[in-house]
Structure 1
Amino acid sequence: MTGLRVRPAEQADFPAVARLTVAAYEADGQLKGEHGYGAVLADVSTRAASGEVLVAVDEATDAVLGSVTFVLPGTRFAELSGPGEAEFRMLAVDPGAQGRGVGAALAQACVARATELGCVAVVICVRAGMALSAHRLYSRLGFVRAPEKDWSPAPGVDLLGLRLDLTRG
């Protein structure tokens, strides 16, 4: 992960975040029959107003390589989180930057933010057919299946709940 820095997104980053998020979801086949989800992914201003959009940038060029949206329960983009839990959504890495540890850096930044806020857990959902590399990343970070968090936002879109307990020492 050397050469990467995670920081809050600035408004000037929003076009790059929108582009790379849609590109990453398209490359992974997640926007087929997506019922308008591409527009939600591209609307970075709304995400930033409802949560914290973080970006991973190349330290040498300051190019945005990936992004994620960190949210707390009860906010607009929170889907799974309950009291004491944080959640991150829309983690995306520019297809040209995959394999550089960008996704791991963003996920770890969300875990660190949740810890800083005193949360007891971080919850996320992944599409059942999502790339195996994403499932491996979350497993490596300590996320475990939380079947009680599984849900389906649209026909044919099955999301699996994952949870990372932050209370274990």
Structure 2
Amino acid sequence: MTIETRDARPGEYDAIGAIVAAAFAADGQLDSPGSASYGTVLRDVAGRAAHAQVVAALDDGTVVGGVTYVPDGGPMADLARDGEAEIRMLGVAPDAQGRGAGTALVRECLARAAGRPVVLSTNAVAHTSHRLYERLGFVREPARDWMPVPDVTLLCYVRDAELRP
């Protein structure tokens, strides 16, 4: 099995949206009252693709995950400062997790960042995601943690530009 990453194609947007929403739900990230409507946002891959890069992860030609990569700010950036890229809305199908798709998606974003720092926020309840990011060299930056809605705490992680993808 080899995971391939590439720019998502419009015909894959619905599948990626469903996968990312399912991954967030399986991880408990849509359980709080404030996050209940976020599933609709996660499914809107076409809306994200209009303002950022959407990357697909494929296993033997089947889409198993996706991520939104924000290279330089704009409406899709939540935390990125000047000179930082941002990773948003990463999700892998629950039945495909543990096979390297999440790692491949993050590494693709790091390669696209071309030596710039990369920032992301992740739900405080997403412990599996925290381990992935830490394993790939991201470190917590608590001063940038935030709450987009009541009852949802997002933790900030940053990866220095000096580290190789």
TM-score band w.r.t. shorter chain: over 0.9
Q: Which has the higher contact order (CA 8 A, sep 6+)?
A: 2
Task: After TM superposition, give the deviation of residue 133 of structure 1 in Å.
Answer: 2.2
Q: 1:84 maps to what in 2?
A: 83
In the alignment of these two chains, the number of paired residues is 162
Instruction: Judge which range, 69-78 or 7-16, deviates more.
Output: 69-78
SS of equivalent to 1:79: coil
Match of 2:142 among 141, 147, 158: 147
Q: 2:159 maps to what in 1?
A: 164
Q: Give the superposed CA RMSD.
A: 1.3
For each residue in 1:136-156, what CA deviation from the matched residue of structure 2 results, as whole angstroms up to 9, or x when unmatched?
A: 111111000111211100001
Alignment of 1:94-105 (within 5 A): 94-105=93-104
Whether the 8 Å CA contact 2:73–2:85 is kept in 1: the answer is no
C-alpha distance in 2 between matches for 1:30 and 1:47: 19
Task: After TM superposition, give the deviation of residue 168 of structure 1 in Å.
Answer: 5.3
SS of equivalent to 2:75: coil
Matching residue's letter, 2:17? A
Q: 1:54 maps to what in 2?
A: 55
Task: After TM superposition, give the deviation of residue 6 of structure 1 in Å.
Answer: 0.2
C-alpha distance in 2 between matches for 1:168 and 1:36: 36
Matching residue's letter, 2:132? L
C-alpha distance in 1 between matches for 2:24 and 2:163: 33
When residues 57 and 150 of structure 1 are mapped into structure 2, their CA distance, relative to the original with a 3 A threshold, is: same
C-alpha distance in 1 between matches for 2:25 and 2:139: 26
Alignment of 1:1-169 (within 5 A): 2-32=1-31, 33=33, 34-58=35-59, 60=60, 62-115=61-114, 118-119=115-116, 121-130=117-126, 132-167=127-162
Tell me the TM-score normalized by structure 1. Answer: 0.91
Matching residue's letter, 1:68? V
Q: Which runs of 5+ in 2 are unaligned?
A: none
Instruction: Judge which range, 34-43 or 48-57, deviates more.
Output: 34-43
C-alpha distance in 2 between matches for 1:167 and 1:96: 34
Instruction: Judge which range, 135-144 or 68-77, deviates more.
Output: 68-77
C-alpha distance in 1 between matches for 2:90 and 2:26: 14
Matching residue's letter, 1:150? D
Matching residue's letter, 1:125? S
When residues 154 and 5 of structure 1 are mapped into structure 2, their CA distance, relative to the original with a 3 A threshold, is: same
Task: After TM superposition, give the deviation of residue 35 of structure 1 in Å.
Answer: 4.5
SS of equivalent to 1:50: coil
Whether the 8 Å CA contact 2:28–2:125 is kept in 1: the answer is no
